[in-house]
Structure 1
């Protein structure tokens, strides 16, 4: 039972730190003006979002028969 009493202090410190950090995190979240949000969305939608790498064609999967067969040469 004495061992469990040693765990009370660290548990209280941990819970206190979690409450403190969550309270500090609330300050950084402000309301974004609706017009500003619409302008940001419009700017993001107007960007050209082409990928840097060309799209690869889909691979044709070989039919698996469960038996090792050497491919025939054509």
Structure 2
């Protein structure tokens, strides 16, 4: 089991490259799918994406593969 600071680590690729901004669902309901996709692409280019980390009940880290690799490079990840 992988651990970080003594807590288990779960890897989920959905936590890598998460857009920082997207159109809300209420706006998506009133615009065309093409327009929504276009605005989402622009927001991704302008605001970028981030790699997220979740902490489940203060006992487990959930990270994406990119975050896991960065932690390993920093020597903070313990196999």
With the shorter chain as reference, the TM-score category is: under 0.3
Higher relative CO (Cα under 8 Å, sequence separation at least 6) belongs to 2
Higher strand share: 2
More helix by proportion, 1 or 2?
1
**What is the TM-score of this pair, normalised by structure 1?**
0.24
What TM-score do you get using the length of structure 2 for normalisation? 0.22
Q: Which protein has the larger Cα radius of gyration, Structure 1 or Structure 2?
A: 1
